[in-house]
Amino acid sequence: PLVHLQQKDRIYIVGSASGSEKHPAWYHNLVANPDISYELGDGPVEARATVLEGEDRATAWTEIVAAFPFFGDYQDQVSREVPVFVLTPR
């Protein structure tokens, strides 16, 4: 299970790896294979995972850290930019 933030029909997930300097293994899997299925609530959802960049990431990051402040702490611990994915239903 991953901590996520749901905004309407979009799900945001964060590749923090609990403050590790390396991206989590699943980050590389999603980049290589962005068409996914995830389970939340009533059953599986077919979606596309997209890494957010620039202003889109900044906007999502503000909302994520407001809901889950520990992600901000993780970002402060590492030199890499912690990636944010949006999962958009297909």
CATH number at residue 53: 2.30.110.10
pLDDT of amino acid 1? 79
Instruction: Report the pLDDT value the prediction gives residue 49, as an integer from 0 to 100.
Output: 98
Q: What is the reported pLDDT for 18?
A: 96
Check if the beta carbon of residue 90 is closer than 8 Å to that of residue 35: yes
Q: Where are the alpha helices (DSSP H) in the chain?
A: 25-32, 54-67, 70-77
- Tens-of-pLDDT digits for all 90 residues of the chain? 799 999 988 899 999 999 999 999 999 999 999 999 999 888 899 999 999 999 999 999 999 999 999 999 999 999 999 999 999 999
Report how far apart the first and last C-alpha atoms of the chain are (Å, whole number): 21
Domain count, the chain: 1
Residues spanned by the domain of 79: 4-89
Give me the pLDDT at residue 43, please.
87
